[in-house]
Structure 1
C-alpha cells in the first residue's frame, strides 16, 4: 500500500490518477499511524517550503516520516523533494534532513518559475534523455546523491536518491508516459 501524505499542500488528484493508472493501491492520509502501516510513502508538495515544514510539524507527521524513512521508501515530489533536504531559504525553515543539501532560489537568466518541459541528464538509463514537466522557483544546492539534472541556466537537481529516499523535483504525474515510468520505478526500487 502506498501512503500519500495529506497535509493540504500537494497536487493530490494528479498523483492519485497516476497511481490508479499504474494500478498501485493507495491511501491519502495525514494520520501518522496510517502512514506507518504503508509500504511506500509519497510526499507531494506545491507551495511554500516554510509553510509546508510548519504544517508537517504541527500535524505530527515529521516524526512519523523520520521513523518510516529508517526502513521504508519515501518519495518526495516537487516541494516534497525539497522537504527531504536539510533546509530552505524559502521561509528560512528546516526540512526533514533525510538528504544532505539546502534549497535556494534558482539563479538563472531564464524566467522564474522554471515552468515547462525539460530533458533529464543522467548516467541512469531510466532517466537519461527523458522529457519531464517542471514548475518551481527553488532548487537544491550543495546536494549529494543527485542522480539526474536538467539545464535551466544552472544544472537543476531533478532526481536525488540515497538508499530508500528518493526526491523528484519535476512532476512525474504530469510528465506523460515517461513520468509514469519514472514514478513506477521509484516506487518499485529506485534508479
Structure 2
C-alpha cells in the first residue's frame, strides 16, 4: 500500500488536499501529519501551503519539520503545492527571507506596473482564478492532461528558477512565469490541483502512481 504524507506546519487548509488525494487513491494510506517520523516513514510526500512566506518558514522550523522536508525531497516522490513550491527555492522577495535551498532560484512578486492584459486591461494582484498551464517539458505528472489546460491559482509571488531545465510549465499573467518545476523526484506547482477539477485530480492521481 502506498502511504502519502501531507505535511502540516500550520499553514493552509490541508483537508482539501487530503480529500482530493483520497478520492484518486482509494485504498491507500493518506494522512495529514506534523510528525517528522511519520513523514520519514511515508512512501511519498506532499508539501502544500498558503499564506506569507516568512510565516511559513517560521512555522516549519518551530515544528521541527525542516529536516524531514529536506530528507523527503532528497529521497522519495515529493509534490510541492503553492507556497510549498516557493519554499523549495533559495530566497523570497516576500519578507526578504531565505527558503530551503533545495532548488536554485528566487521567488519574485508580480511587477504591478507591468500587469496589463493583451487587450490593455489592468490585471489585479494577487493572480486569482483559472489560467492556462503550458508545459515546458514532458513529465509523467502531465500524463492525460492537455497542454494548455486550465488550473486554479491564488498568488502574488512566483518562482524564477536559476536553471531553466527545472521549469516544467509556464503561465501568462501580465508576465510569463514558471508555474511548475521538476527535478528528479521533485515536482512542484504554483496552482492548486486540489481546486482544479478533473485536471487537478488527474495530476494528483499521476503523482500517486509516479515512480521517478
TM-score (norm 1): 0.93
| Mapped partners of 1:47, 1:171: distance in 2 | 13
Cα distance in 2 for residues equivalent to 1:175 and 1:55: 27
Which segment is superposed worse, 123-132 or 103-112?
123-132
Paired residue for 1:129?
Answer: 148
Are residues 1:64 and 2:68 paired?
A: yes
Shift of 1:82: 0.5
- Higher-Rg member (1/2): 2
SS at match of 2:84: helix
For these two proteins, the number of residue pairs brought into alignment is 191
Give 5+ residue unaligned stretches, structure 1. Answer: none
* Counterparts in 2 of 1:143 and 1:115: CA distance versus 1, 3 Å: farther
Corresponding residue for residue 179 of structure 2: 158
CA distance in 2, matches of 1:180, 1:115: 19
**Displacement of 1:190:** 7.6
Distance 2:179 2:205 in 1: 16
Deviations 1:29-79, CA, capped at 9 Å, x for gaps: 111111100011111100010110111112110011112222112211001
Task: State whether residues 161 and 190 of structure 1, in contact with CA within 8 Å, keep that contact through their aligned partners in structure 2.
Answer: no
| Unmatched segments (≥5 aa) in structure 2 | 116-122
Task: Give the conservation status (yes or no) of the 8 Å contact 2:43–2:76.
Answer: yes
TM-score by length of 2: 0.85
